[in-house]
Amino acid sequence: MVVEPEKGGKMKKTVHRAEERGHADHGWLDSHHSFSFAGYYDPEKMNFGALRVLNDDIVSSGMGFGTHPHENMEIISIPLSGSLKHKDSMGNIHVIRENEVQVMSAGTGIQHSEFNPDRDKEVNFLQIWIFPDQRDVEPRYDQKEFDPKDQENRFQQILGSTKDGGHVWIHQNARMFRGRFSRDMQQEIDLSSSQQGIYLFVLEGAAEVAGESLGHRDAIGISAVESIQIEAKENSDILIIEVPMD
């Protein structure tokens, strides 16, 4: 596995093992935190560049988060299984399901709730927060469905900073990709600039990245490189989040 460093620079990497994440079990909510969140605090895991939160949440049937506020944060929800019902102060009432991505720009302030509408099935979803590149924007909501076939042995862009391109967008120079790879498949990802970093999260399977063997729910943050190569060591589902490091 080769990671090409930026010319004149030196690759920086941080490995986050699944078992080292913060954990909170509230009965109705089983949550793992990649970064400091709520009652979990680790000064070494405050953020990765503009990426502030990556929570891996399992919510019991019929349960959820009551109405609560957010401001000046870009919030992304990705259901991995099950469904999640969203309601907010802008009047949006939607259900997001597996293979969909929801974005919410909290901006000047928003209140919302999230519940598992299923009576007999848990929902497992990723809650991701990214710092915006501008404060006090008008709150907004969007969601989009992505065909898993478009992610077979390739990375499909599911989030970006522009309003076109077939993906959802946020107020930040960030990109997000998802790929589902067969064993031994390799894929290269180019960073959009030398100021960006990549946080790679193995949703399922195993991969080798930057000389590190990563398993189920392991992650690695990489910066000061021009590109990275990923090799799937078994059938794998991989999420990549590219964010500014400043």
Q: Is 234 helix (H, G, I), strand (E, B) or coil?
A: coil
pLDDT value of residue 6? 42
Q: Domain locations in the chain? A: 3-244
Average pLDDT per consecutive 10 residues, the chain (246 residues; last block may be shorter): 47 97 97 97 97 98 97 98 97 97 98 96 98 97 97 98 92 98 97 96 98 98 96 98 96
Q: Is 39 helix (H, G, I), strand (E, B) or coil?
A: coil
Q: How far apart are CA 175 and CA 188, in angstroms?
A: 15
- What's the one-letter identity of residue 9? G
H-state helical runs in 163-208: none
pTM of the model: 0.95
Q: Identify the CATH number of the domain defined by range 3-244.
A: 2.60.120.10
User: Which tokens go with 103?
Assistant: 């974005």
pLDDT value of residue 3? 38
The sign of the CA dihedral 147, 149, 150, 153 is positive
Q: How far apart are CA 159 and CA 192, in angstroms?
A: 14
pLDDT value of residue 10? 86
